[in-house]
């Protein structure tokens, strides 16, 4: 790989990450899970970690009668 090719590859990766970050920020600002429509909650274990309130085992979900969801992402 040449230096120019590496530089272009790095720019493409940075653009992809910036687009993903912008998408996640928009989802968090809306406060609604894009998969199931439940509310989002912040996980205080790590800075910027957001999760659907239906994520996890039955005992950890907001409403155990509803199906689980797997959406989680980071804003920072």
Beta-bridge partners for 42: 50
Q: For 9-50, write each residue's pLDDT tens digit.
A: 999 999 999 999 999 999 999 999 999 999 999 999 999 999
pTM of the model as a whole = 0.83
- Look at residue 2 in the predicted model and tell me its pLDDT: 87
Mapped onto helix, strand or coil, the DSSP state of residue 43 is: strand
- Look at residue 16 in the predicted model and tell me its pLDDT: 97
Q: Which two tokens stand for residue 49?
A: 């970690």
Mapped onto helix, strand or coil, the DSSP state of residue 2 is: coil
Please state the domain extents for the chain.
3-74
Confidence band, pLDDT 50/70/90 cuts, at residue 3 = confident
């Amino acid at each position: 790989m040449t230096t120019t090719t590496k530089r272009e590859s790095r720019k493409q990766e940075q653009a992809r990450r910036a687009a993903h970050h912008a998408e996640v920020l928009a989802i968090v600002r809306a406060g609604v899970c894009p998969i199931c429509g439940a509310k989002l909650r912040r996980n205080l274990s790590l800075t910027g970690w957001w999760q659907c309130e239906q994520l996890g085992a039955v005992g950890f979900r907001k409403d155990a009668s509803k199906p689980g969801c797997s959406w989680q992402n980071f804003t920072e």
